[in-house]
Structure 1
Amino acid sequence: MIKVRKANERGTTNFGWLKSAHTFSFANYYDPNYTGFSSLRVLNDDWVAPNAGFDVHTHRNMEIISYVINGEMIHKDSEGNQHTLAAGEFQLMSAGSGISHSEYNKSKTHALSFLQIWITPDTLNGAPSYQQRHFGENSGFTLVASPTGEKESLKIKQNIKLYQLVLNKGQATSLPLNNNKQAYIHVIRGNAVINATELNQGDGVMLIDESSIHFKNHQSTNTKLLVFDFG
């Protein structure tokens, strides 16, 4: 079964300095039909105005992934981590027993856009931790996060594998799913046909009881997607 989440049907927030599109219920946006999928709790497209950002706030027992699409993000947290994330970089912050952090747009002239992803952990109240890495733009699948940290992926506290998938013009590929046969796909840029369903930028799709996923890019530019394979 395939359930499509179109970009123009997502919830939205606009505070002026922050504009967000919410795949699932978040903050003041609530849709009982979209409260998460498997261990994926939040998937937001966030746009942050120049010289603005999120003041210090606290998280507990959540695996929080940020992926910078455009611009640069400044991260600071209560564990002493202070880093800048450039476009194309992934960050995984395991909140565990509690961590406070802030996120700001480094630029005074250009907007920052990034994906904010929350995944519920399978282990509670552990020690907070921080990881960051750029995985490049190689075509095909690149493992971004896994429970074992294999292939130099970010180590996440959940039985899930997160892939970055880049498809060049005309490229097609497939991914066999784990025994759970559940996956979520989000289109970061471009267009793709997934199991005969066409998706555009910002669209997502939930797959349930599917043994594999088939991808194809028939557009003139390359496509980038995130693929969550729930174990």
Structure 2
Amino acid sequence: MHTIRRSHERGQADHGWLQSRHSFSFASYHDPQHMGWGNLRVINEDRVAPGMGFGTHGHRDMEIISYVLSGELAHRDSLGHVKTIPSGDVQRMSAGTGVMHSEFNHSASQAVHFLQIWILPAQHGIEPGYEQASVSDADKRGRLHCIAAPQGQGGAVALHADARIHAGLFDGDESERLELNPRRKAYVQVARGSVVANGVALQAGDALLLRDEAAVALAQGQDAEVLVFDLAP
């Protein structure tokens, strides 16, 4: 069973320096029909203008993942991390008992395009933490590569949540099938390009929400970058 969430149906925020699309209710965008999927709570597609960024702000009890599609994002937090997140990298910040952080685009000419993802943790009150990993195009070419998982299995960044995130690049004849537990939920997000997922044609920004499904099957990609979430029900 699946539900299609088209790109134009998402919430939208225009702050001048920040253009954001919200897959689920976030900030001033509220839609009781779209409050999350399983333990996936937020997917924001953000574009940050050159020389701009998010000022220091706080979070608690959330697994926050940043996946950079183009440009570079500068990260600073109250745990002492000062990092640059380039295109292709995945960052996981566990807010736990509380963390302050900021994100900034130091480029004078290039916007940063990234996905901000929030997943509900398996338990509250954990110690805050940070992890970052580089994922090459070769890792993702024509396959779904696990980029985040409980305990960081297989080199993925470690999630303190019952969830796995896979990323893949698909073009031409490349295809992939990811087996699922039908008792769980899954979510397919097309970051760019186009792809057919479980027989449904999806464009950049579109998503497919799955339940009671035994697999995700991807094919007929055209310069597609796709994230697939395996989620607690």
Q: CA RMSD in A?
A: 1.1
Matches within 5 A, 1:1-231: 1-138=1-138, 139=141, 140-178=143-181, 180-219=183-222, 222-231=223-232
Kept in 1, the 8 Å contact 2:182–2:213? The answer is no
Residues in 2 aligned to 1:165 and 1:81: alpha-carbon distance in whole angstroms: 28
Deviation, structure 1 residue 179 = 5.0
Deviation, structure 1 residue 218 = 4.7
Give the fraction of aligned pairs with identical amino acids, expressed as a percent. Answer: 40
SS at match of 2:61: coil
Report Cα offsets for 1:41-97 as digits up to 9, x if no partner: 000001111111000000000000001111111100000000001111110000000
Kept in 1, the 8 Å contact 2:75–2:82? The answer is yes
Runs of 4+ with >2 A deviation: 178-181
SS at match of 2:144: strand
AA paired with 1:149?
G
Residues in 1 aligned to 2:231 and 2:50: alpha-carbon distance in whole angstroms: 36
Report Cα offsets for 1:146-194 as digits up to 9, x if no partner: 1121111111011111101222311122111035331001001111111
Residues in 1 aligned to 2:115 and 2:94: alpha-carbon distance in whole angstroms: 16
Residues in 1 aligned to 2:213 and 2:221: alpha-carbon distance in whole angstroms: 23
TM-score after normalising by structure 2: 0.95
SS at match of 2:45: strand
AA paired with 1:161?
R
Q: Which runs of 5+ in 2 are unaligned?
A: none
Aligned pair count reads: 229
